[in-house]
Amino acid sequence: MSGRGVNRGRGLLAAALAGLLMGSACRREDPRIGEMTVRAAEADEAAQQLREAWRAQLLRLPRLGRDRPGPGGPYAIPFTPEQIRFLQARINAERDVSRRALLQEALDQDRLIRTLGARLEQLKRDLPVPDIAGPHDSHHGLALRFLKGRGLPDGEARRLLAGVPLLGRLAPGFEVYHVLAGGQYATWVAQGGSPLSPRDLNASDDLEALRATRDSARARRGRLDQAATALLAQKRALDLEVSELRLQREQLLEEQADLQAEAAAHAGDLNALHYRVGLRTDLEQAGIIVLPVLGRGRAGIAWSDAAFTQRLDLRRTQRLVLRAEDLGLRRIEDVDVVPGSCVEGVHYRLTYAPDRREVAVDLLTPARFRNDKVVFAVH
């Protein structure tokens, strides 16, 4: 294992131990726990180096020639004394430089494995005997069993564990260490005989949790996409409905404007005098009026709405002026107002200009003429 990898491994274990020890007690840490922390970090470093050395040696063994194993059968790790003497003899007899170097590397690696193994054994002698995790063991269960085995009541043991971070899962072969000193409890987990490290195992749990979170997020996104699609369809339907309502509104506004114009026209008709001005002879010949020699003038057979094309809005004025020139006359001699039920001096007044070119008609009782028809026959 490289120096950088060793230092990183030491830092990871130290960080894990620090996290476990932080919750053990609120008061100052017992010195014995601090010493165990240092020894545990050193032991973990040595164990990792030993695993790396074993791995490198396992990769090298096939190149030593399994067809010619050393005395006592296939090569062992570490080598047996007979195998060491056998390899040393091969080195001395080998003429191929590269082959001799390979055999020497195997012996050097064997010495490293022995050195690391001895150092690890010495470090472990200074550590408490660990629990070896089984298939169904949990960190909390092993810690609780340890504390109760040291005479702590169940409630006190659980209270002490409540402040200590514990691993969520243990793999078979993990070494679980416990220390109880000065009323403080500390625990840490080493890889031991497991192919996975505690970090790798719990990282896989984190990965599974992340995958579950990812799958949940994808499912939620799918639901949101479906909801968004439904909302977009609903929006399109609402937009179409709004467009139709706007069109209906415009049509209603147009109809309202037409109705208002029609109402205004009706109001104008209801408050207007519908009249016709013409020569008396023309009006009689057309059958619009009848002017008997004796009696009052009356409507003729051609008296109809279409015959009255002129209108006087009584809301604005009650006077109209008859002009001779409009009728092709030089002067106006007289004006007959038909029907004869309209009485001069009562309902209207005629005022002739001095030159008789104009006659002013003043309606004295506008209500009498409202929405009514009157003919002014001039002669």
Asked if residue 192 and residue 327 are part of one domain, the reply reads: no
Nearest to 49 by CA among 114, 126, 128: 114
* Residue 281: pLDDT band with limits 50, 70, 90: very high
The answer to whether position 114 is within a domain reads: yes
Asked if residue 301 and residue 156 are part of one domain, the reply reads: no
The answer to whether position 262 is within a domain reads: no
Q: pLDDT tens digits for 178-227? A: 988 888 888 888 888 888 888 877 776 667 778 888 888 898 999 999 99
Lowest mean pLDDT among 5-14, 21-30, 44-53, 198-207: 5-14
Domain final residue, candidates 162, 180, 200? 200
* Domain count for the chain: 2
Asked if residue 103 and residue 25 are part of one domain, the reply reads: yes
The answer to whether position 251 is within a domain reads: no
Asked if residue 307 and residue 167 are part of one domain, the reply reads: no
**Predicted confidence (pLDDT) at residue 13 exceeds the cutoff of 80:** no
Domain final residue, candidates 174, 200, 226? 200
Q: Mean pLDDT over all residues of the chain? A: 83
Asked if residue 193 and residue 109 are part of one domain, the reply reads: yes
Percent of the chain with pLDDT over 90: 42
Asked if residue 328 and residue 184 are part of one domain, the reply reads: no
Asked if residue 290 and residue 181 are part of one domain, the reply reads: no
In this prediction, residue 277 carries a pLDDT of 96
The answer to whether position 112 is within a domain reads: yes
Supply angle C-alpha 36, 23, 32, rounded to 5: 20
Asked if residue 22 and residue 130 are part of one domain, the reply reads: yes
Q: Where are the beta strands (DSSP E) in 86-231?
A: 131-132, 175-181, 184-190
Domain final residue, candidates 185, 200, 215? 200
Residue that the structure tokens 């004796």 belong to: 294
The answer to whether position 312 is within a domain reads: yes
Asked if residue 276 and residue 193 are part of one domain, the reply reads: no
What are the CA-CA distances from residue 273 to residues 121, 131, 368, 370 (Å)? 129, 120, 9, 5
Amino acid sitting at position 121: E
| Mean pLDDT, rounded, for 44-48 | 80
Q: pLDDT tens digits for 328-376? A: 999 999 999 999 999 999 999 999 999 999 999 999 999 999 999 999 9
The answer to whether position 232 is within a domain reads: no
CB distance 115 to 53 below 8 Å: no
| Mean pLDDT, rounded, for 122-144 | 88
Asked if residue 148 and residue 65 are part of one domain, the reply reads: yes
Domain of residue 191: give its range: 3-200
The answer to whether position 263 is within a domain reads: no
Enter the pTM of the model.
0.42
Asked if residue 274 and residue 177 are part of one domain, the reply reads: no
Asked if residue 167 and residue 60 are part of one domain, the reply reads: yes
The answer to whether position 169 is within a domain reads: yes
